[in-house]
Structure 1
Amino acid sequence: MIMSKEELIQNIEVARERLNTSIDHEDGEVIYLRSVELDKLIEQYIEAGY
């Protein structure tokens, strides 16, 4: 599924906030999974050439 630039940016921001919250309140596994989620979104953004 190809997302628009705006959708990707919004999803990256949401994932970043979730990761930041996780760092303060969750265990290492949750933090890792949310970090991977954020990395994948950033990778999509870069691959799309935005």
Structure 2
Amino acid sequence: MSAKSNPGDGTHGKGTKGSKALAGEGSRGPLGFVVDLARGLRDLLRG
């Protein structure tokens, strides 16, 4: 779980928080992980 939140990546941290709030229980399952990765990639592309 701690692997998801990277202290060096501020953008990734923000993405994880947003995905957790939106996904809710889903964030625990594999779907949440995929969504987290997708959001992180989108954040990097936008930035």
- Larger helix share, 1 or 2: 1
Query: Normalised by the size of structure 1, how large is the TM-score?
Result: 0.44
Larger radius of gyration: 1
Higher relative contact order (CA 8 A, sep 6+): 1
